[in-house]
A and B are shown apart, each in its own frame.
With several copies, the nearest count.
Chain A
């Protein structure tokens, strides 16, 4: 399986590892960003950003259900913003295990990262990406590395 943004995701290669996002942290001011950037957006230093593993968990900042889908997606689907404990607030989709219904998600709830295909469509079913699911949901095996 291809990876949508390969430089942004750590995909486990053995069972002891867990997937996470790859962000960058500024040596000068400790700002963490996602995705990685070569220049710190906070202090504008060039070359101060080092790769860091982030985003294994997060808190739901906001969420909605999109009733119309762009090409390659299937409506209805959740779209959310997640606050990562390391700093960034990021846009994300929600794992397929989570039923797309009002009331399933609640802002502020703990979330956990999963890797799965971008969407269940011919264009995107072979494209691995990161998504979040409520941390309370029973863990499932996430898709492996293809």
Chain B
């Protein structure tokens, strides 16, 4: 397999863009990426397009990728439409990586795009539930519930087990809202206090509104090619994909003793990249509910069980810390347009690694970074999909 580099990234801002269709959002991300890479549409050999809700929310099924690429002037090439809940864009990147790593293509485009504001938020919420197993969504189960009480994370249970408080749950939201306030592409740019987060409306006990990612439109893209081909396109620092891991969840039986799938997928990514958690200089992770960040700290190997809040208290994961987490603002502040999120994370990491992140630039440019995603709940008591990508300069 060839070593693969990301030579261009780009994004559409996240937020509410009432007048814009899927293809308008994607166009901005795609052409920002082409321009960033110094590439033309004719350079692209193959494209992977991730989207999750376009069929239910916009009426466009089946060929969403071809529709958005045609609008951006890219036609005739192989287009693979991929869908993997909140990891759809991560799946698109993995596809592009495999095309180039294998030699099937020299230059591959990965796009993630989502249009969630369609004038009826009840419809959007229902569509979001449909990315979990329909047997569960039919019974009224929502993502928020699953974070609150689902056996695999059970944040409410962690309050008893770890002694975590509502203020602890608010800490990642507060940290990330500060990061997001520095990000011109972010949906929510207001820095929040612990009090504001704790006192916002309860959505599902113990989660409050400001702990939850909101509805969002957005798009992001990346172009990859063999490392040695990168200078043909751009003089910018090529960012290598050290590992790009995708896993589905296990069927969990109570007390089966299985390691959590977020841990399993992260360990696979570390192993493939030949690094460990201590080598990471920055992380973008899946804080669809902000307190999940605390759980992910331990599952990604950053701390021992229950020590999550300490990492924020001691400033370790803040923007100026040893290993900044969610410098973009994360899902709650930067925004979580479901099918775009994985590539929004990648774009942020590439900007940070190049030193192009503006006001939120990590002072010491990160050399090794991780993007982490998960999504979709199954009857088997696990998330459907886990994606972990490790980047290196």
B:39-96 near A, CB below 8 Å:
40-42, 70-73, 75
Q: Chain A 67-89, CB within 8 Å of chain B: the 1/0 string? A: 11111110001011101000111
A46 to B148: give the CA distance in the assembly, Å: 34
B:148-163 near A, CB below 8 Å:
148-151, 154, 156-157
Q: Are the C-beta atoms of A41 and B151 separated by less than 8 Å?
A: no
Contact of A89 among B41, B42, B156, B254 (CB under 8 A): B254
Residues of A within 8 A of B201 (CB): 67
Q: Are the C-beta atoms of B70 and A66 separated by less than 8 Å?
A: no
Q: Does A118 count as interface, using CB distance less than 8 angstroms?
A: yes
Contact of A46 among B73, B139, B202 (CB under 8 A): B73
Chain B, residue nearest A61 (CB)? B151
Q: At the interface with chain B, which of A9-17, A31-39, A133-141?
A: A31-39
Q: Are the C-beta atoms of A41 and B205 separated by less than 8 Å?
A: no
A119 to B138: give the CA distance in the assembly, Å: 11
Q: Are the C-beta atoms of B142 and A38 separated by less than 8 Å?
A: no
Q: Chain B 20-51, CB within 8 Å of chain A: the 1/0 string? A: 00000001000100100000111000000000
Q: Does A129 count as interface, using CB distance less than 8 angstroms?
A: yes
Chain A, residue nearest B129 (CB)? A70
Q: Assuming the A-B contacts A38-B27, A62-B156, are A79 and B122 also in contact, with contact meaning beta carbons closer than 8 angstroms in the complex?
A: no
Q: Does B253 count as interface, using CB distance less than 8 angstroms?
A: yes
Q: Does A93 count as interface, using CB distance less than 8 angstroms?
A: yes
Q: Are the C-beta atoms of B149 and A64 separated by less than 8 Å?
A: yes
Q: Assuming the A-B contacts A37-B71, A64-B204, are A87 and B254 also in contact, with contact meaning beta carbons closer than 8 angstroms in the complex?
A: yes
Chain B, residue nearest A130 (CB)? B139
Q: In the complex, which of the residues B42, B71, B123, B126 has the most CB atoms of chain A within 10 Å of its own CB atom?
A: B71
Chain B, residue nearest A127 (CB)? B138
Count of chain A to chain B residue pairs whose CB atoms are closer than 8 Å in the complex? 117
Q: Assuming the A-B contacts A65-B204, A89-B381, are A44 and B40 also in contact, with contact meaning beta carbons closer than 8 angstroms in the complex?
A: yes
A102 to B71: give the CA distance in the assembly, Å: 36
Residues of B within 8 A of A68 (CB): 144, 203-204
Q: Assuming the A-B contacts A66-B144, A71-B125, are A39 and B149 also in contact, with contact meaning beta carbons closer than 8 angstroms in the complex?
A: no
Q: Does A50 count as interface, using CB distance less than 8 angstroms?
A: no
A38 to B380: give the CA distance in the assembly, Å: 14
Q: Are the C-beta atoms of A42 and B41 separated by less than 8 Å?
A: no
Q: Assuming the A-B contacts A72-B140, A73-B140, are A44 and B204 also in contact, with contact meaning beta carbons closer than 8 angstroms in the complex?
A: no
A33 to B73: give the CA distance in the assembly, Å: 12
Q: Assuming the A-B contacts A66-B145, A93-B140, are A41 and B204 also in contact, with contact meaning beta carbons closer than 8 angstroms in the complex?
A: no
B:133-180 near A, CB below 8 Å:
135-142, 144-145, 148-151, 154, 156-157
Residues of B within 8 A of A61 (CB): 151, 254
Residues of A within 8 A of B126 (CB): 70-71
Q: Does A96 count as interface, using CB distance less than 8 angstroms?
A: no
Chain A, residue nearest B34 (CB)? A46
Q: Assuming the A-B contacts A65-B205, A67-B202, A87-B254, are A119 and B150 also in contact, with contact meaning beta carbons closer than 8 angstroms in the complex?
A: no
Q: Are the C-beta atoms of A44 and B42 separated by less than 8 Å?
A: yes
B:79-124 near A, CB below 8 Å:
122-123
Contact of A64 among B41, B139, B145, B253 (CB under 8 A): B145
Chain B contacts to A: CB under 8 angstroms? 27, 31, 34, 40-42, 70-73, 75, 122-123, 125-126, 129, 135-142, 144-145, 148-151, 154, 156-157, 201-206, 251, 253-254, 379-381
A-B contact pairs, 12 of them (CB 8 A): A5-B138, A42-B253, A45-B73, A62-B154, A62-B156, A65-B204, A66-B204, A79-B145, A80-B149, A89-B151, A91-B136, A118-B140
Known: A44-B41, A68-B203, A70-B129. 12 other contacts (CB 8 A): A33-B253, A35-B135, A41-B251, A46-B34, A62-B157, A64-B148, A65-B205, A67-B201, A87-B253, A89-B381, A93-B140, A119-B140
